[in-house]
């Protein structure tokens, strides 16, 4: 059970869990409730402060791979599948090991699923992912001439690829304006009170209605490290958070 801090040291709380409850059905954009001492929520300074705050943290795995030259759509899709339910500290070395062995669909299709499984052993669900990756490589070689098209529908037609991976890979590799909502983006944007949604899918829908397009790809890049180090799943570090004055802290009941 999480240890509680003395009330006097807690960061100020926003709404009670009762008022913070998200509505049923699709996500929606809400006007964050006014609170004494809080500034009106403004996404520009909020993301500017977070950009500065995460400068010294490691990039999320797919951005880190792109910075190392693994920035093709195929490589990004492979890396995203490996990152599902797996920490970056594990998925990034596994992605590098696999891509150093086979960075193209043709090369990956030449490996057997068993070979791929051996290389990606540390990754969660490695056996199922090995078969999925082999199928994607084979289909890309046979149906698309070895080059994946920048098409979300095509990417999501592959087993194991949902909107989160498709959007992030398309944003990084193809320059598409697409929001990728993982558990960090979902949690943080709902705590801000910027959107109100029960699921990452509903959060995506709500963000598409309100977030300026210039931030659609960058949002994931900023909020993954911010969610890992500052706005953590349990006991977020609100007292030292750079966006405390803007954030409605929806649903936060125990903060550091
Ligand atoms: S750490 Fe606290 S103040 Fe900062 S974004 Fe998360 S909930 Fe808001």
Radius of gyration of the chain (CA): 20
**pLDDT, mean over the chain:** 88
Residue 26 has pLDDT above 80, yes or no: no
Cβ of 247 closer than 6 Å to ligand 1, yes or no, is yes
Query: 67 to each of 64, 73, 85, 125, 180, how far by Cα in Å?
Result: 5, 14, 22, 26, 19
Rounded CA gap, 100 and 254, in Å? 44
CA of 253 to the centre of ligand 1 (A): 11
Rounded CA gap, 139 and 112, in Å? 14
Cβ atoms within 10 Å, residue 113: 16
| pLDDT interval class at 241 (50, 70, 90) | very high
pTM of the model: 0.78
**Pocket of ligand 1, candidates 241, 254, 255, 256: which has the most ligand atoms within 8 Å of its Cβ, to mutate?**
241
129 is catalytic: no
Question: Are 77 and 107 spatial neighbours (Cβ–Cβ below 8 Å)?
Answer: no
Q: Which residues, listed in sequence order, are joined to residue 196 by a DSSP beta bridge?
A: 28
Rounded CA gap, 14 and 238, in Å? 11
Cβ of 243 closer than 6 Å to ligand 1, yes or no, is yes
| pLDDT interval class at 174 (50, 70, 90) | very high
pLDDT of residue 35: 72
Cβ of 193 closer than 6 Å to ligand 1, yes or no, is no
Residue 29 has pLDDT above 90, yes or no: no
Rounded CA gap, 47 and 218, in Å? 9
DSSP state of 157: T
- Superfamily (CATH H level) for 61-174: Hypothetical protein; domain 2 (1.10.340.30)
- State which H helix or E strand residue 152 sits in: helix 152-156
CA of 165 to the centre of ligand 1 (A): 25
Could you state, in order of their start, the residue ranges of all structural domains in the chain?
A: 61-174
| Sign of the CA dihedral running 225, 229, 233, 239 | negative
CA of 243 to the centre of ligand 1 (A): 7
Rounded CA gap, 184 and 1, in Å? 21
pLDDT of residue 58: 85
* Ramachandran bin of 37, using left for φ above 0, alpha for ψ from -120 to 50, beta for the remaining angles: left
* Ramachandran bin of 173, using left for φ above 0, alpha for ψ from -120 to 50, beta for the remaining angles: alpha
Among candidates 156, 172, 155, which has minimal Cα distance to 216? 172
Per-residue pLDDT tens digits for 60-89 = 889 999 999 999 999 999 999 999 999 889
Per DSSP, the residues of 52-87 read HHTTTSPPPHHHHHHHTT--SHHHHHHHHHHHTTS-
Per-residue pLDDT tens digits for 46-60 = 999 999 999 999 888
Ligand 1 atom with least separation from CA of 237: 1
CA of 242 to the centre of ligand 1 (A): 8
- Residue tagged active-site, from 24, 159, 164, 228: 164
| pLDDT interval class at 161 (50, 70, 90) | very high
Please name the residue whose Cα sits nearest to atom 6 of ligand 1.
Answer: 231
Instruction: Report the range of poorest mean pLDDT among 17-31, 172-186, 224-238.
Output: 17-31
Q: How many CA atoms are closer than 13 Å to the CA of 92, on its beta-carbon side? A: 14
Cβ of 191 closer than 6 Å to ligand 1, yes or no, is yes
């Amino acid at each position: 059970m999480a240890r509680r801090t003395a009330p006097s040291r807690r960061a100020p709380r926003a709404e009670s869990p009762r008022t913070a409850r998200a509505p049923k059905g699709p996500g929606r954009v809400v006007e964050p409730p006014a609170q004494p001492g809080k500034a009106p929520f403004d996404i520009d300074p909020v993301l500017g402060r977070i950009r500065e705050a995460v400068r010294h943290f490691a990039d999320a795995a797919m951005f880190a791979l792109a910075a190392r030259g693994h920035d093709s759509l195929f490589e990004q899709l492979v890396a995203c599948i490996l990152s599902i339910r797996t920490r970056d500290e594990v998925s990034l070395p596994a992605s590098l090991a696999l891509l150093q062995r086979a960075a193209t669909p043709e090369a990956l299709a030449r490996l057997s699923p068993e070979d791929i499984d051996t290389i990606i052993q540390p990754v969660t669900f490695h056996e199922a992912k090995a078969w999925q990756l082999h199928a994607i490589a084979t289909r890309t070689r046979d149906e698309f001439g070895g080059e994946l098209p920048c098409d979300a529908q095509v990417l999501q037609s592959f087993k194991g690829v949902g909107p989160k991976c498709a959007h992030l890979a398309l944003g990084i590799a193809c320059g598409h304006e697409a929001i990728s909502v993982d558990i960090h983006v979902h949690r943080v944007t709902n705590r801000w009170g910027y959107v109100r949604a029960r699921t990452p899918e509903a959060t995506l829908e709500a963000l598409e209605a309100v977030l300026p397009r210039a931030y659609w790809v960058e949002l994931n890049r900023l909020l993954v490290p911010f969610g890992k180090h500052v706005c953590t799943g349990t006991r977020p570090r609100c007292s030292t958070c750079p966006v405390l004055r803007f954030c409605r802290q929806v649903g936060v009941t125990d903060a550091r």
